[in-house]
Amino acid sequence: MGKTKITGLFFGSFNPIHNGHLIIGEYMVEFTNLDEVWFVISPHNPLKEKKNLLPDYHRLAMVNIAIEDDPRFKSCNIEFKMPQPSYTIDTLTYLHEKYPDHQFVLIGGTDILPTFHKWKNYKEILKQYEVYIYNRPGSDAGDYVSHPAIRFFNAPLMEISASFIRQAIKEGKDVSYMLPARVYEFIREMHFYED
User: Which pLDDT band, with edges at 50, 70 and 90, does 50 fall under?
Assistant: low
Residue 51 in domain = yes
pTM over cut 0.85: yes
- The distance from CA 122 to its chain's CA centroid, rounded to whole angstroms, is 18
Residues 142/168, Cβ–Cβ less than 8 Å: no
User: Which pLDDT band, with edges at 50, 70 and 90, does 149 fall under?
Assistant: very high
- pLDDT tens digits for range 163-180: 999 999 999 999 999 999
The burial class, CB within 10 Å (0-12 / 13-18 / 19+), for 174 is exposed
Residue 138 in domain = yes
Q: For residue 67, what is the domain's CATH number?
A: 3.40.50.620
Amino acid (1-letter code) at residue 134: Y
Residue 46 in domain = yes
Indicate the SS3 state at residue 108.
strand
Q: Helix, strand, coil % (nearest 5) of the chain?
A: 40, 20, 40
Share of the chain above pLDDT 70, in %: 95
In sequence order, which residues have a C-beta less than 8 Å from that of residue 170 and are 6 or more positions away?
193, 194, 195
Residue 26 in domain = yes
19 sits in the region (left: phi over 0; alpha: psi -120 to 50; else beta) called alpha
Residue 174 in domain = no
Residue 9 in domain = yes
Distances (CA, A) of 82 to 17, 79, 93, 159: 22, 5, 12, 32
Domain that holds residue 32: 5-160
First to last CA, the chain: 52
User: Which pLDDT band, with edges at 50, 70 and 90, does 47 fall under?
Assistant: low
Residue 168 in domain = no
Q: Long-range contacts of range 155-160, CB-CB < 8 Å, 24 or more positions apart?
A: 155/23, 155/24, 155/27, 155/28, 155/31, 156/23, 156/27, 158/19, 158/20, 158/23, 158/24, 160/18, 160/19, 160/20
Residue 181 in domain = no
Report the domain count for the chain. 1
